[in-house]
């Protein structure tokens, strides 16, 4: 081999080694949280939206009972998540978190056992700061390993990790500490980063957590809900099996929106591959609420194995088209009227990634009907104010 060839070969070998090293780093970063959870968006319930700090073990047990008796658990709603305010304000003399004696006298382990016996999973809440957002209990900053071990020993399956009352350091410094602690704790725990989207967690959340909040807290009204869907959509490219954008929990059933608005809420969360965490009192739900949250076909869009988050593919004034590819060559499409008057809206094939000549069968997921005619090039629907249609399109020719 000539001298020049030798140099070229040596250089190629060095470059290959550098590439391998870079791959290993990428692999490590990706696998910092390798818990295998969240292959589809998590489904369940969380106490915060409806109950705030008004929580106790009886209510949590009754909620678990209701998840089973209503049939919700069979549809995939499996997490029973306790939010803020479950612990005493002070740790014990060994530095452990202590469940609040007045409201959780039997302790969290007993609750986890109860919930597990029903085939459900238990979630809990802490904070990457000195106190949680309510300031009524300690956060885990400086106690990450100890708290992760405690959670694992109790049988916790899901941790929501908030961002209040911290030391001023960046979330990218504080969140990985809990990721590592959870990985060491010896139990797969879904890790939900609740950083509110401040530092664009979609850009760094995937190696650290199974979901990351992209927005501030939702409230039970149209403006709040729809603006959270908008902010979350920006990061669509980052969602994938194992790591999801989180526009906050559901308000369906809490009374602040109309039926059409709650259908928009549930449709957008489903097509955006958002966590479907119910936020109402599921022990007392109306028929209307049940009809919305038990729509199997809409849930199937959310739980589709491909895990592509929908994007807005057209906006014209108050009319919008959101779409996402599904497995089996299907496409989910939301036709949305955000305005205050009835309007006719069209989804065009070239916007949603179909050849304009494709013949399509359309399934209306809220009417539970496959439309009688097929469609070529586009599909139009007339929409009431603040309402939407959710179709699954299936190319047939």
Binding site for ligand GLA (CB under 6 A): 48, 83-84, 132-134, 162, 194, 196, 217
| CA 272/CA 121 separation, integer angstroms | 24
**Closest CB 265 distance from ligand GLA, rounded Å:** 16
Cβ partners under 8 Å of residue 331, min gap 6: 323, 324, 325, 352, 353, 354, 392, 393
Nearer to ligand GLA, 133 or 178 (CB): 133
| CA 145/CA 46 separation, integer angstroms | 24
Nearer to ligand GLA, 128 or 326 (CB): 128
**Closest CB 194 distance from ligand GLA, rounded Å:** 5
Catalytic hit among 84, 147, 157, 162: 162
Catalytic hit among 65, 217, 291, 364: 217
Nearer to ligand GLA, 56 or 351 (CB): 56
Which 8-state DSSP code applies to residue 97?
-
Q: What are phi and psi of 74, to 5 degrees?
A: -65, -25
Q: Is 355 a catalytic residue?
A: no
Helix (H) or strand (E) holding 101: none
**Closest CB 263 distance from ligand GLA, rounded Å:** 23
Going by C-alpha positions, the residue among 111, 138, 113, 112 that lies closest to residue 125 is: 138
Q: Do 393 and 360 meet the contact criterion of CB atoms below 8 Å apart?
A: yes
Q: Is 122 helix (H, G, I), strand (E, B) or coil?
A: strand
Nearer to ligand GLA, 84 or 320 (CB): 84
Q: Is 217 a catalytic residue?
A: yes
Nearer to ligand GLA, 149 or 160 (CB): 160
Burial class (CB in 10 A: 0-12, 13-18, 19+), 218: buried
E strands within 74-226?
79-81, 121-127, 158-162, 190-193, 211-213
**Closest CB 159 distance from ligand GLA, rounded Å:** 12
**Closest CB 92 distance from ligand GLA, rounded Å:** 22
As annotated, the active-site residues are 162, 217
């Amino acid at each position: 081999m000539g001298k020049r060839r030798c140099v070229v070969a040596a250089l190629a070998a060095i470059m290959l080694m550098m590439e391998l090293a870079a791959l290993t780093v990428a692999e490590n970063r990706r696998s910092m949280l390798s818990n295998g959870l969240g292959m589809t968006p998590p489904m369940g319930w969380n106490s915060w939206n409806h109950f705030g700090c008004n929580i106790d073990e009886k209510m949590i047990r009754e909620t678990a009972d209701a998840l089973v008796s209503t049939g919700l658990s069979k549809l995939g709603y499996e997490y029973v998540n306790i939010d803020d305010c479950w612990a005493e304000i002070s740790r014990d003399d060994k530095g452990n978190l202590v469940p609040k004696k007045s409201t959780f006298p039997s302790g969290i382990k007993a609750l986890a056992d109860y919930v597990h016996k029903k085939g459900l999973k238990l979630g809990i809440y802490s904070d990457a700061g000195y106190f949680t957002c309510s300031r009524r209990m300690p956060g885990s900053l400086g106690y990450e390993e100890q708290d992760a071990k405690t959670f694992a020993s109790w049988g916790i399956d899901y941790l929501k990790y908030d961002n209040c009352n911290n030391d001023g350091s960046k979330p990218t410094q504080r969140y990985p500490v809990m990721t590592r602690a959870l990985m060491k704790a010896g139990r797969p725990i879904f890790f939900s980063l609740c950083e509110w989207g401040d530092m664009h967690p979609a850009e760094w959340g995937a190696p650290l957590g199974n979901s990351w909040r992209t927005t501030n807290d939702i409230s039970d009204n149209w403006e709040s809900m729809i603006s959270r869907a908008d902010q979350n959509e920006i990061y669509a490219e980052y969602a994938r099996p194992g790591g999801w954008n989180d526009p906050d929990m559901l308000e369906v059933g809490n009374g602040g929106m109309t039926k059409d608005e709650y259908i928009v809420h549930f449709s957008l969360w489903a097509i955006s591959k958002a966590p479907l965490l119910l936020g109402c009192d599921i022990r007392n739900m109306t028929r209307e609420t049940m009809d919305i949250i038990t729509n199997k076909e809409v849930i199937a869009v959310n739980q589709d194995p491909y895990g592509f988050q929908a994007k807005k593919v057209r906006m014209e004034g108050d009319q919008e088209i959101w779409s996402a590819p599904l497995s089996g060559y299907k496409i989910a499409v939301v036709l949305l009227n955000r305005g205050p008057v009835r309007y006719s809206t069209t989804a065009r094939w070239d916007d949603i990634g179909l050849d304009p000549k494709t013949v399509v069968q359309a399934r209306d997921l809220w009417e539970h009907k496959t439309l009688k005619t097929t469609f070529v090039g586009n599909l139009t629907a007339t929409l009431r104010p603040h309402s939407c249609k959710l179709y699954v399109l299936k190319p047939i020719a």
